[in-house]
Amino acid sequence: MGLLRKLFSYQYITHEHLAGLDRYKYSCIDSSPLSRYVMHPFWNFLVELYPRWLAPNLLTFVGFLCLIVNFLVFSIYDYSFYGYCANQEDCVNLQNLTKNQLYFQNNIFKFETIPSYICSCIPQWLWLVLSICQFLSHHLDGTDGKQARRTGSSSPLGELFDHGLDSWATLFLPVALFSIFGRNEPFGITAFSMYGLLWLILGSFIISHWEKYNTGVLFLPWSYDLSQVGMTFLFFGTFLFGQKIWYFQIGPILFTQFVVAVIYVASIGLSLPFSLYNMYVAYSNKSFKQESIYEGVRPIFSTLYLFVIQLIWIKYSKINILDLEPRAFFWLTGTLFSNISCRLIVAQMTSTRCQIFNWTLIPLTIIVALFTLNFKGSVIEPFLTPNAEVNSLYFMSVLITIAHIHYGICMVRQICEHLNIYCFNITSKPVKKTD
């Protein structure tokens, strides 16, 4: 215990951050009709059923764990997103394929050598479990703030804890959607198309908090509750009728293409223009929180850099890394993004200057450089094998996950100590240390 205490006692937050946190006042606007007229009335009813000793942060954390359960279930049963085959005779169970069979068929290292139909046959009953987990996650996340106000336990930690986990949760919705539709032709979605959808959702999230960094007000995206409710019904519909229920056309357009188009329009049309307009208004009426436009755009640099460096890896990877290992690639992207977002949220809540470059992007840049640049004839060429690139992706994913969890735990512990509260208990307070 002593070793763990020391391990998670690193102080990521400065005294300046803590002083800013003491002055912080929550400001949020949720104008979504679905939220105002459907979700909030339901949550107001639901929160009255909770015992008063139930900590709001516990609701947030359990809701996040529900999404983790969904991700793990899909990872076990459909790791590579080939969950449904129109022809079961052509279905090859991924669990029976070794990495060598996948990567080196016919002695050619190309993704195209993998069989056209690979599936892991997700049990029908699992879709009901996934639907329940999605439902619980959405409503636990929606009632945590109401429980905090009901019990008088609202604190800056609650918002930071909630939005920090939300930044990681943005990864799971597009990944779950990919698992429902799969990538089998002709009705599936390509890995690159789904990666684009992932970035649209990540972009909507970071833009909202970038906007708050500059205006002081968080305008919640209309697409949030709509997407959460939609995923619950997609899971439940898949439980009732199977994945094939979504394989149809609306006129000349595939249903999967229609869903992709809706997400593109909702993410771009309902997020970016309004956020840019709100920041423009704040800048025009002198309520802009930053001293200059440069200071205002600083927080977005790391996210843009992550987007570009990942695209370079996808474009110039000699083994088509995104198609070969989409789940690991999505996980790495989402975890890096969450770490960047959390640091922006801390800066915004503490009224401090946001860092311009996240250190986690340095090892990523090195890996991308090693496997995309031409090192032919150099001493390191023998080490830059296809397996090395795949292993580097997994190593990077593990490294960033550990670093992100360490950052989160240390930050929560430090804020709890500063505010003299527990994270998951509101019925007692820690005993203050005396000199």
Q: Are the C-beta atoms of residues 135 and 67 closer than 8 Å to each other?
A: no
Q: Is 110 a residue whose pLDDT tops 50?
A: no
Domain boundaries of the chain, sorted by first residue = 2-419
Residues whose CB falls within 8 Å of the CB of residue 219, separated by 6 or more in sequence, listed in order:
28, 29, 31, 208, 211, 212, 274, 275, 278
Residues whose CB falls within 8 Å of the CB of residue 107, separated by 6 or more in sequence, listed in order:
none
Q: What is the pLDDT averaged over residues 263-283?
A: 84
> What are 357-369's pLDDT values in tens digits?
999 999 999 999 9
**pLDDT number for residue 407:** 97
> How many H-runs (helices) and E-runs (strands) does the chain carry?
19, 4
Q: What is the pLDDT averaged over residues 178-205?
A: 88
Q: Are the C-beta atoms of residues 175 and 83 closer than 8 Å to each other?
A: no
Structure tokens that stand for 111 in this block: 């993704």
84 falls in which pLDDT band (50, 70, 90)? Answer: low
Q: Is 92 a residue whose pLDDT tops 60?
A: no
DSSP letter string, 220-257? --THHHHHHHHHHHHHHHHHHH-GGGG--EETTEEHHH
Q: Are the C-beta atoms of residues 210 and 304 closer than 8 Å to each other?
A: no
**pLDDT number for residue 223:** 80
**pLDDT number for residue 249:** 87
User: How confident is the prediction for the chain on average, in pLDDT?
Assistant: 87
How far CA 56 is from CA of 12, 61, 113, 167, 338, in Å, comes to 24, 9, 50, 18, 21
**pLDDT number for residue 108:** 36
**pLDDT number for residue 252:** 87
**Distance, CA of 142 to CA of 151 (rounded, Å):** 16
**pLDDT number for residue 113:** 36
> What are 386-406's pLDDT values in tens digits?
999 999 999 999 999 999 999
**pLDDT number for residue 433:** 61
**Distance, CA of 131 to CA of 239 (rounded, Å):** 8
Q: Please tell me the total number of residues recorded for the chain in this structure.
A: 435
375 falls in which pLDDT band (50, 70, 90)? Answer: confident
434 falls in which pLDDT band (50, 70, 90)? Answer: low
Structure tokens that stand for 93 in this block: 């169970």
**pLDDT number for residue 233:** 94
**pLDDT number for residue 105:** 39
Cα angle 98, 177, 237 (rounded to 5 degrees) comes to 110
CA torsion sign for 216, 222, 227, 229 is positive
C-alpha 9: how far from its chain's center?
26
**pLDDT number for residue 259:** 87
Q: Report pTM.
A: 0.89
**Distance, CA of 298 to CA of 287 (rounded, Å):** 18
How far CA 354 is from CA of 303, 347, 357, in Å, comes to 12, 5, 9
Residues whose CB falls within 8 Å of the CB of residue 106, separated by 6 or more in sequence, listed in order:
113
**pLDDT number for residue 86:** 42
> What are 224-246's pLDDT values in tens digits?
888 899 999 999 999 999 888 88
> What are 125-177's pLDDT values in tens digits?
999 999 999 999 999 999 999 999 999 999 999 999 999 999 999 999 899 99
Q: Is 88 a residue whose pLDDT tops 50?
A: no
**pLDDT number for residue 432:** 64
